[in-house]
Amino acid sequence: MTVTTWAERGERRAPQTGACYCGDLVAEAASVMWAGPHDVLLHAKCAARWGAHLIGDAREALLASGDALHWIRRAAKALRSALVAEEARR
């Protein structure tokens, strides 16, 4: 991903126009471009939402993978948190 400006679009280093995944045209002076087989222009706010969704999906995929080490670490963290809370009450 990269930030593109009007100057870069004018020099044709980035798409001139395009619709964001939200459906609206990207008309800001600075936008985010996802470079890949098909370049995608995104509004800055849409890029932030898209990134948050990607992180959430990656976490869900990790949890669904059944990776035993992940669950062991998660259980150890929960146990540690409970022990710290119990010690704080004393």
22 is in which domain, residue-wise? Answer: 2-63
Task: Give domain status of residue 44, yes or no.
Answer: yes
What separation in angstroms does the CA of 41 have from each of 14, 28, 75?
9, 11, 41
Domains held by the chain: number: 1
Task: Give domain status of residue 25, yes or no.
Answer: yes
Task: Give domain status of residue 70, yes or no.
Answer: no
pLDDT tier, 83 (very low <50, low <70, confident <90, very high otherwise): very high
pLDDT tier, 50 (very low <50, low <70, confident <90, very high otherwise): confident
Pairwise CA distance, residues 56 & 54, whole Å:
5
Task: Give domain status of residue 86, yes or no.
Answer: no
Task: Give domain status of residue 9, yes or no.
Answer: yes
Pairwise CA distance, residues 66 & 58, whole Å:
13
Kindly report the average pLDDT of the chain as a whole number. Answer: 79
Task: Give domain status of residue 85, yes or no.
Answer: no
Q: What's the pLDDT at 80?
A: 93
Whether this prediction's pTM lies above 0.75 is answered by no
Average pLDDT for 15-38: 75
Task: Give domain status of residue 54, yes or no.
Answer: yes
Q: In the predicted model, is pLDDT for residue 11 greater than 60? A: no
